[in-house]
Amino acid sequence: MKVIVDQDKCIGCGNCEELCPAVFHVDETIGKALVIDAEACEFAACCEAAEENCPQDAISL
- Nearer Cβ to ligand SF4, position 36 or 56? 56
Instruction: Indicate if the alpha-carbon torsion angle 42, 20, 10, 26 is positive or negative.
Output: negative
**Could you tell me if 10 and 16 are in contact, meaning their C-beta atoms sit under 8 angstroms apart?**
no
Task: Kindly write out the interface string for residues 30-49 of this chain, putting x where it contacts ligand SF4 by CB under 6 A and - elsewhere.
Answer: ---x----------------
CB of 47 to ligand SF4, least distance (A): 11
Separation CA 24–CA 47 (nearest Å): 9
- Residues contributing to the site for ligand SF4 (CB under 6 A): 5, 10-16, 24, 26, 33, 54-56, 58-59
